[in-house]
Chains A and B, each alone.
Chain A
Amino acid sequence: MTPSKPIVQTYRQGHLSRLIKLYNHTLADTPHFIRDEDFLKYFMQCLGVNKDSIFVASVDDQITGLVIISITTENSGLKQGNIIELQAKDLPSTQALIQVALNFCKDKDVDMIVVVPLPLPKINAVFKDWLKLETGAMMAKALSISSLIRASLSNQEIRDSYEGKKIVFHIGEEIEKFGDITSESEKTAILITMSQQTFLKIIFGQVNPYVAYLTRKVKIHPMQNIFPILKLLRRMKMPTSLYVSLIDRI
């Protein structure tokens, strides 16, 4: 049986709770900025968005995608179609939503359209006749290491595989303990030392912990624990790169 084609319709208020379910599917493994009801309502009331410029795709009454379009006019007179949010479970839903967005923008007589698509497999095929823009630089700085470590180690599988281990992270000027560490047992714990920047680069997948260790950016004591600890640092990396849609780039 061939899969049903996605049907695209304008958004209705009753879709909201089902959209949260869609996000739980599309962004489950992708680090992203929050999309709860408050933020979704905010997206839908942003400048240039109206009730006719929000569309949902569905297959067999299941919502499979969402697109929110904001139409703005710059002081230079440029009329811009901004797809501020595009979420889709699969490629056919993405294609259907993009087609509807294109038609909508052309009806509104826009001069250009911009979008940040989700990193789906074969997504480039959908945007093959679009220009890929170089964006400004997104920068990050850690303000509290302990919370980042907790988030990185929140995966139960990772925690289980290091069950019983006592690890002390000494990152920049902050110290965070992993495992049941008392003042007595701290002497026998494994100590990992690195700068805040190196830690963030490991988390965001920009530095390989093995390379960081070899270049002395990461220090581990005692020496016999090097490989399991480097493996742990590698697993602390974000599962995929951060998804930042147009609406997130404030």
Chain B
Amino acid sequence: MSKNKATSLIKDVIIKSYTPGDESQILDFLNLCYGEWGTIQKWRSRYIDYPTFDEDNILLIKVNNRIIGHGSIHFRNLIVRNHKINTASLTDAAVHPRYRGRGLYAELVGIRLKIAKSKGASLSFTWHLKGSNAYNHNKRIGFIEIKQSPIYMKVIRPEKVIRSGLFDLLHKNQKLKEALQGLGSDIYFRLGKYEFSILDLLSEDKEKLRKNQSKIEIVLDENSLYVIANFRNMTKLKRIMSLIMLMFLRRAEIKFSSFKGLLNLVHKGVAIIDSI
């Protein structure tokens, strides 16, 4: 494949399709970029077992034989009034954190659209967080947002759902993770009898870090679940407004173990809000 603008800025770039043997490197790469992408079983199920799988459907950008970019295509027909339309869903796009901001994502989209068209697809789909860089880029190049059916969720253990939601958010948002690590206080979440802290979620040397830290406690009630469950899919403005509403409606309360905790939050609050 030919190099173009973005990749020509990086030395020794190769763009190639997947070949058997790449899977463990791909998996490490996806787990690095997504925080928590999944296991080799998930990868096999999603790719190798997929009815229209082809090695060309996985695109890799490599530098010195190391993956710095990944994007894939899932081909399938869309049925409209008994008429088949060949479609290509652009999936699992990822760029290594060190190579972001150099146009590699745009290139991954562009190349996959060309491949999709050359294989006869008439329509292309993608799924993104609203307002994300990928969402904004795709809107600029002619994608439109389309309505999809809602997802319903039945919560059996609210405390586990909240813990997992925060775990997911922290592992997918490096900026927020760093802002919270630099807070100097450990944040505890409490829902009924259940309690966990940010340090627990980051699974670092908690005891060592905890020694000199003050404690900030956030007490949630079960009505806060709707906001927490939807948090990841909200725009930044909506996230901040939702947090303010939780406080205002007393569905979440903040308690400080010491004045130091309050000062820490006031001091680092802007950085945390900025990274949400």
B260 → A minimal CB distance (Å): 30
- The reply to whether the CB of B7 lies closer than 8 angstroms to some CB of chain A is no
Give the complex CA separation of A249 and B127 in angstroms. 8
Given A110-B156, A130-B153, A135-B233: A155 touches B81 (CB 8 Å cut-off): yes
Closest partner residue, chain B, to A132 (CB atom)? B150
Contact status of A242 and B160, CB under 8 A, knowing A112-B154, A143-B88, A148-B122: no
Q: Is the CB of B157 within 8 A of A31?
A: no
B152 to chain A, nearest CB (A): 4
A1 contacts B by Cβ under 8 Å: no
The answer, yes or no, to whether B100 is at the interface (CB within 8 Å) is no
A135 to B149, CA, bound (A): 9
CB distance from B124 to the nearest CB of A (A): 5
**A169 within 8 Å of B by Cβ?**
no
Q: Is the CB of A74 within 8 A of B123?
A: no
A139 and B84 CA atoms in complex are apart in Å by 19
Q: Please report the C-alpha to C-alpha distance between residue A46 and residue B48 in the assembled complex, in whole angstroms.
A: 11
**Chain A 143-175: CB-based contact to B (< 8 A → 1; otherwise 0):** 111111011101100000000000000000000
CB-CB < 8 A to A155: which residues of B? 81
Residues of A within 8 A of B253 (CB): none
In the bound complex, how far is the Cα of B89 from the Cα of A112, in angstroms? 28
Question: Which residues on the A side are within 8 Å of B55 (C-beta)?
Answer: none
List of A residues within 8 angstroms of B89 by Cβ = 250
A131, B145: Cβ atoms closer than 8 Å: no
| Cα–Cα, bound, A98→B41 (Å) | 27
Complex contact B122–A143 (CB within 8 A): yes
Cβ of B17 under 8 Å from chain A:
no
Interface of B is mostly: mixed
User: Interface 1/0s, chain B 146-176, versus A by CB < 8 A?
Assistant: 1111111111110011011001100100000
Q: Which of B20-28, B178-186, B224-232 contacts A (4 or more CB under 8 A)?
A: B224-232
Complex CA gap A56/B128 in Å reads 33
How many chain B residues touch A (Cβ–Cβ < 8 Å)?
72
Contact residues of B between 58 and 112, Cβ < 8 Å to A: 74, 76-89, 91
A139-B143, A140-B143 given; A133·B152 CB < 8 A: yes
- A137–B233 Cα gap in the complex (Å)? 9
Instruction: Give every chain B residue within 8 A of A74 (Cβ-Cβ).
Output: 36, 164, 167-168
**B79–A46 touching, CB < 8 Å:** no
Known: A42-B51, A206-B147. 5 other contacts (CB 8 A): A33-B79, A45-B49, A110-B156, A147-B122, A241-B149
Listed by A's residue number, 28 A-B pairs whose Cβ atoms lie within 8 Å are: A27-B79, A33-B76, A33-B79, A74-B36, A75-B36, A75-B167, A78-B164, A111-B160, A111-B164, A119-B149, A131-B226, A133-B153, A133-B229, A136-B233, A139-B127, A139-B145, A140-B146, A141-B113, A143-B123, A144-B120, A144-B123, A151-B80, A151-B85, A154-B80, A241-B149, A242-B78, A242-B148, A243-B149
Closest 8 CB pairs of A and B: A78-B164, A76-B167, A147-B122, A111-B160, A139-B143, A144-B122, A76-B164, A130-B152
Chain B residues within 8 Å of A, Cβ to Cβ: 36, 41-42, 45-46, 49-51, 74, 76-89, 91, 113, 116-117, 120-130, 135, 138-139, 141-157, 160-161, 163-164, 167-168, 171, 201, 225-226, 229-230, 233-234
